[in-house]
């Protein structure tokens, strides 16, 4: 669902940050030749997904998910558990948690935003360890996405 620039500017800063990085991830995926449509999974929606376009293989009608993304900006632990379930249900080759540090720190009305960021980073690391062997999980930060965007999208 598209929103106007005026509506976008009214969103909390962490929500705008989330949407900006979601757009960057989708542009990177398109430049790499992936289909970036189809965010639904059996239990919800992903923030972004890169799929191999239909290869016309016998018995395979859908595009195959290669990388699924959840952008972490304002979620708490319970929401992150749901995101993990959603990532697993999409059955990608790689699940990526994109931790947007500034968004995480601003999303909590907390006296110690660095402590909150560390708590989220530790929780994602525990999930990564717990689900090792079920799904390959990577953790990316803003600078990882920005570097890819600059290398892949801006140079073409």
Give the whole-angstrom CA distance, residue 152 versus residue 95.
Answer: 20
Give the whole-angstrom CA distance, residue 48 versus residue 75.
Answer: 16
Nearest CA to 47 out of 73, 81, 12 is that of: 73
Q: What is the pLDDT of residue 12?
A: 47
Q: What is the pLDDT of residue 13?
A: 62
pLDDT tens per residue, range 60-78: 777 788 999 999 887 777 8
Give the whole-angstrom CA distance, residue 64 versus residue 40.
Answer: 13
Q: What is the pLDDT of residue 119?
A: 86
What domains can you pick out in the chain, each with its CATH number? Answer: 11-153 (3.40.1350)
Give the whole-angstrom CA distance, residue 110 versus residue 18.
Answer: 19
Say how many C-beta atoms besides its own lie within 10 A of residue 55's C-beta: 8
Which residues does 120 contact at the CB level (< 8 Å), separation at least 6?
72, 75, 77, 80, 99, 104
Give the whole-angstrom CA distance, residue 106 versus residue 114.
Answer: 10
Q: What is the pLDDT of residue 79?
A: 82
Positions of the chain with pLDDT under 70 = 1-14, 107-111, 155-156
Which residues does 104 contact at the CB level (< 8 Å), separation at least 6?
14, 72, 73, 74, 113, 116, 117, 120
Q: What is the pLDDT of residue 144?
A: 96
């Amino acid at each position: 669902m598209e929103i106007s620039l005026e509506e976008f500017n009214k969103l909390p800063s962490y929500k705008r940050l989330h949407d900006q990085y979601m757009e960057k991830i989708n542009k990177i995926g398109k430049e790499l030749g992936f289909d970036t449509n189809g965010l639904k999974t059996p239990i919800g929606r992903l923030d972004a997904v890169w799929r191999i376009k239909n290869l016309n293989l016998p018995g395979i009608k859908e595009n195959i998910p290669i990388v699924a993304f959840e952008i972490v900006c304002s979620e708490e632990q319970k929401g992150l558990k749901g995101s993990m379930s959603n990532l697993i249900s999409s059955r990608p080759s790689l699940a990526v948690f994109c931790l947007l540090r500034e968004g995480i720190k601003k999303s909590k009305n907390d006296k110690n935003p660095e402590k909150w960021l560390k708590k989220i980073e530790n929780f994602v690391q525990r999930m990564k360890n717990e689900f090792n062997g079920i799904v390959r999980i990577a953790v990316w930060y803003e600078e990882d996405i920005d570097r890819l965007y600059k290398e892949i999208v801006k140079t073409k």
